[in-house]
Chains A and B, each alone.
Chain A
């Protein structure tokens, strides 16, 4: 398995990363060398092995359905780059409807 520059560009786009041509080339190379290294694992026959979802074998930890958090809005909004005191304000997501 290997990745092409096209795929790297697509992955970057999905991750909202802007890469210049040099970076695309660099990351394609880097990712391929990682994949190359991981190929080692293919030598192991895992057809009979259950996929491991978590490295620690442990039971589910539940929380009872009880109100706990009391976090003030003032505190919640404190780190927001922009706020009107009620909402988080972010750049407009939907363009104004063309009439």
Chain B
């Protein structure tokens, strides 16, 4: 990749986040995802003549939360504007958005890169309404569902400060983490609650002028963002290497074919003729309101990570994984109501539980074992009621039933044997049944010790306390010498 090293990518991202309000931006219709088509609509979001928009206060509050969390200036006064274009799922013929004076400006998000942490500047965050949905694939008509028409969005626009696909991905992950921590968006890219468009150009390293940029749309997962950016960076480098030029255009990412193709038709007239929305007053935000929102901001990812390190004495790595998603951090802290073994809980969550959640592709808030029960399981190990090995078995059971681990242990009679006299009997039997191995051991082949342990555990069906087994075995074998 020697050729790549001479170039630098310059990437700016536009991220749309669907806000978790109950109702739409300008009317009282529900925003619920997955409702029957055209059941959450009214004359306002259908764009019928004579209707007027009234602004949802909570949507504005959510935008301010995001602005504060990303170090933006919150403008005391901002203006709504009409963005004009024709498409059947945009019934008014314009989208109400913000253009010249958005609600938040000049922020930044910090990302971790291989060269340390770096600030990605934000140009602006503005509020706008979503369009409806068009379904093209059946029959001779396009079907239009207006349930999504008017659902509130914020658009977060970065400066072109991103220089690699890894950085883009890291930036997106940070934004996703922030919106979910702030409780303003569910962050689900596959379902479209978080959408990302990219502006990309390349230049030779050391140059300061920007190259011609292209825009890529339709990247609906983290993986697709990385793949699409990689594709486009390589395509532009190849063009320049062949002394050809990059054409400024909009491309659509096709995940199935792994390529970005020029978009046609809809984008032909890139002239949105923005003008101030006469149906809405300028949006005035009082200092008091901003202060109130600021003081009610929830704990943000970095602060929570630091607290996990200090309060629970966790390694930085653990704290990072546990706080990477709000749902995981919440789960961890809920489980602490039934165990106080911070590190053991961290291990269980990071290895066992996260593995299952990833395999099943479920959000941690939907994890089949309740946090309280996982905590109880760990407490059972700590109190030596069951061994670590048995705990894994119980865990498997809990995945299916989310039963209280104490019940499972009792029902299945899995309580650890810590009674030395019982274990002694088993050890004696094992030594008696395996004279050849005993002979080998006594002749100095000490590896055989593990075999005896295994046999004892097998005989006790995994229930013997391994430490006691070790002690008794050593003692008995020493007596044979």
B-binding residues in A (CB < 8 A): 13-14, 16, 53-54, 56, 58-69, 71, 73, 76-77, 82, 84, 86-94
**Inter-subunit contact B87/A73 (CB<8 Å):** no
**Inter-subunit contact B283/A87 (CB<8 Å):** no
Residues of chain B within 8 A (CB-CB) of A63 are 28, 54-57
For residue B255, CB closer than 8 A to chain A, the reply is no
A-binding residues in B (CB < 8 A): 21-23, 27-30, 36-44, 46, 54-60, 79, 84, 86-88, 134-136, 140-146, 265, 269, 271, 273, 276, 278, 280-284
Residues of chain B within 8 A (CB-CB) of A69 are 27-30, 40-42, 44
Known interface pairs A54-B282, A60-B281, A65-B58; 6 further A-B residue pairs with C-beta atoms within 8 A, sorted by A's residue number: A60-B283, A65-B22, A65-B56, A87-B135, A88-B38, A94-B142
Complex CA–CA separation, A61 to B57 (angstroms): 9
Between-chain CB contacts (< 8 Å), 18 pairs: A14-B84, A14-B271, A53-B282, A56-B281, A61-B54, A62-B55, A63-B54, A63-B56, A65-B57, A65-B59, A67-B28, A67-B29, A69-B28, A71-B42, A71-B43, A88-B88, A89-B141, A93-B142
Complex CA–CA separation, A67 to B23 (angstroms): 6
**Inter-subunit contact B56/A88 (CB<8 Å):** no
B19 shortest CB reach to chain A, Å: 10
Q: Choose from A68, A91, A93 the contact partner of B28 (Cβ within 8 Å).
A: A68
B339 shortest CB reach to chain A, Å: 38
CB-based nearest A residue for B62: A65
Complex CA–CA separation, A75 to B284 (angstroms): 36
Q: A60-B55, A93-B87 are in contact. Are A88 and B28 (CB under 8 A)?
A: no
**Inter-subunit contact A93/B134 (CB<8 Å):** yes
Complex CA–CA separation, A84 to B84 (angstroms): 28
Q: Secondary structure of the B side of the interface?
A: loop
Q: A89-B141, A90-B142 are in contact. Are A73 and B38 (CB under 8 A)?
A: yes
**Inter-subunit contact B143/A89 (CB<8 Å):** yes
Complex CA–CA separation, A78 to B11 (angstroms): 47
Complex CA–CA separation, A86 to B139 (angstroms): 14
CB-based nearest A residue for B275: A53
**Inter-subunit contact B142/A91 (CB<8 Å):** yes
Q: Choose from B29, B36, B141, B271 the contact partner of A92 (Cβ within 8 Å).
A: B141
CB-based nearest A residue for B142: A93
B35 shortest CB reach to chain A, Å: 10
Q: A65-B23, A67-B22, A94-B136 are in contact. Are A82 and B141 (CB under 8 A)?
A: yes
Q: A53-B79, A65-B56, A93-B87 are in contact. Are A71 and B41 (CB under 8 A)?
A: yes
Complex CA–CA separation, A65 to B184 (angstroms): 13
B136 shortest CB reach to chain A, Å: 5
**Inter-subunit contact B28/A92 (CB<8 Å):** no
**Inter-subunit contact A61/B55 (CB<8 Å):** yes
Complex CA–CA separation, A54 to B37 (angstroms): 36
A67 shortest CB reach to chain B, Å: 6
B214 shortest CB reach to chain A, Å: 22
Q: A16-B86, A65-B59 are in contact. Are A87 and B37 (CB under 8 A)?
A: yes
Closest 4 CB pairs of A and B: A68-B28, A65-B58, A87-B143, A62-B57
Q: Choose from B42, B88, B141, B281 the contact partner of A59 (Cβ within 8 Å).
A: B281
Residues of chain B within 8 A (CB-CB) of A88 are 38, 88, 143-146
Residues of chain B within 8 A (CB-CB) of A59 are 281, 284
Complex CA–CA separation, A56 to B36 (angstroms): 40
Q: A60-B281, A71-B41, A94-B136 are in contact. Are A65 and B143 (CB under 8 A)?
A: no
Residues of chain B within 8 A (CB-CB) of A54 are 276, 278, 281-282
**Inter-subunit contact B38/A87 (CB<8 Å):** yes
Complex CA–CA separation, A87 to B133 (angstroms): 10
**Inter-subunit contact A76/B57 (CB<8 Å):** no
Complex CA–CA separation, A86 to B175 (angstroms): 36
Residues of chain A within 8 A (CB-CB) of B273 are 14
**Inter-subunit contact B269/A66 (CB<8 Å):** no
Complex CA–CA separation, A56 to B279 (angstroms): 11
Residues of chain B within 8 A (CB-CB) of A53 are 79, 276, 282
B285 shortest CB reach to chain A, Å: 8
CB-based nearest A residue for B152: A65
B443 shortest CB reach to chain A, Å: 77
A87 shortest CB reach to chain B, Å: 4
